[in-house]
Chain A
């Protein structure tokens, strides 16, 4: 190392923040909260208020289902196309078809802000989503797949400092029609499922958990997948929404 490199090392070291605010247990909890085969990208969006809403643009209704078909909507914006194109980077090679992306649904965060779920098919018959995960052409999951995104800020002790907190997922169960979210305090909320037609053939949901349900005693407890006739097709427990005390202090791990 040259004298100048040594000087640079010293100067950068003087500027470096040595505070160790890392917490491996938080990493482990995040890994558990994210679901199965997902490749999730956290989305930092402003404070969350309300629930998912199905967008109003054209959809086809069959037997009460909300179905969206590729090629029937306006083409995606350049920003969306470029975002999906990242999945085709050399280290990923997802084979996504960015130009065929379709807007599936929106979650309203505030009266003026929403987050949108886009889905684009892949060349192998699978799909990628704008929420940061892809599935292969052999994807088939008739139960309800649920992921939790603590998309805002989380304190080292687990307390959620800022939202949104989003439940998201999908199913390929053809009988699935809607979802019922139950909370620890007895409250219930209905969540729409939106089907995307061939070749995706998957139903998606995106739900913003209101801030009043980020506390123990009020947390979401289960999410049930319902058929159009009311049959309960599957129920998943909701875990991964952390609260104060969920993580041990850093010096205890």
Chain B
């Protein structure tokens, strides 16, 4: 097993669950997210993506998984170009948080999910989303402010 394969296996062992949980907000189900994450690691392992960037391994695999998930979604739902709408899988478990999250833009929502479900660092989110770390910091700061305002309005900040 070469170095990249070992790194991939280590990444898988430590981050599989968080990848799946973050991606499930995009695919709408844990099962389809599982399949996309499995496929993404397999493609990375098979060397199809020989263009692995020098930077973040987690962000690279996430991009592959996200692309796979979008392809699945496009074919399942028979539509092509609209943006995914990341959302909590079981909103009834925290309806106030769900309502607050819903008010964020889809892109900002995804960054929040990457941060809190995917355990992504700011640098990983930046690499995964092709933006600067500063942009991620700003987006998260704004998301936090929006979420806090919404939750306080609902009296749901604990």
Contacts and interface: CB of A to CB of B under 8 A. Distances in A.
Given A44-B72, A153-B35, A4 B48 contact: no
Contacts of A82: 80-81
A222 to B, nearest CB: 22
Interface in A105-138: 132-133
Interface stretch (A9-17, A187-195, A207-215): A9-17
A27 B97 contact: no
Contacts of A45: 75
A113 to B, nearest CB: 11
A230 interface: no
A153 B31 contact: yes
User: Chain A interface residue count: which class?
Assistant: 35 or more
B80 A83 contact: yes
A41 B81 CA distance: 17
B71 A132 contact: yes
A2 interface: yes
Contacts of B108: none
A168 B16 CA distance: 29
B21 A17 contact: yes
A91 interface: yes
B46 A31 contact: yes
A78 B37 CA distance: 28
Interface string B7-28: 0010011001110110010000
A41 to B, nearest CB: 5
B48 A39 contact: yes
Given A14-B94, A17-B21, A82-B81, A34 B75 contact: no
A40 B47 CA distance: 11
B158 A7 contact: yes
Contact of B32 (A26, A34, A44): A44
Interface in A21-40: 21-24, 26-28, 30-32, 34, 37-40
A4 B72 CA distance: 35
Q: Could you tell me the dominant secondary structure of chain B's interface residues?
A: helix
Q: How large is the interface on B (under 10, 10 to 19, 20 to 34, 35 or more residues)?
A: 35 or more
Contacts of B67: 41, 86
A57 interface: no
Contact of B80 (A2, A31, A37, A79): A79
A90 B130 contact: yes
B97 A38 contact: no
A79 B80 CA distance: 6
Given A12-B117, A39-B48, A22 B90 contact: no
Nearest to A161: B31
A107 B157 CA distance: 54
Contact of A17 (B30, B35, B116): B30
Contacts of A38: 46, 48
Contacts of B13: 22, 24
A24 B45 CA distance: 11
Given A20-B17, A32-B46, 8 more contacts: A17-B24, A34-B46, A38-B48, A39-B49, A40-B48, A41-B67, A42-B71, A43-B71
Interface of B: 9, 12-13, 16-18, 20-21, 24, 30-32, 34-35, 37-39, 41-43, 45-46, 48-49, 51, 53, 63, 67-68, 71-72, 74-76, 80-81, 88-90, 93-94, 97, 116-117, 130, 144, 147-148, 157-158
Interface of A: 2, 4-5, 7-9, 11-24, 26-28, 30-32, 34, 37-45, 78-79, 82-83, 86, 90-92, 132-133, 153-154
24 contacts: A4-B147, A5-B144, A8-B144, A12-B116, A15-B89, A15-B90, A16-B117, A17-B30, A19-B17, A21-B20, A22-B12, A22-B20, A30-B42, A31-B42, A31-B46, A37-B48, A41-B67, A41-B68, A42-B68, A43-B71, A43-B75, A44-B32, A78-B80, A79-B81
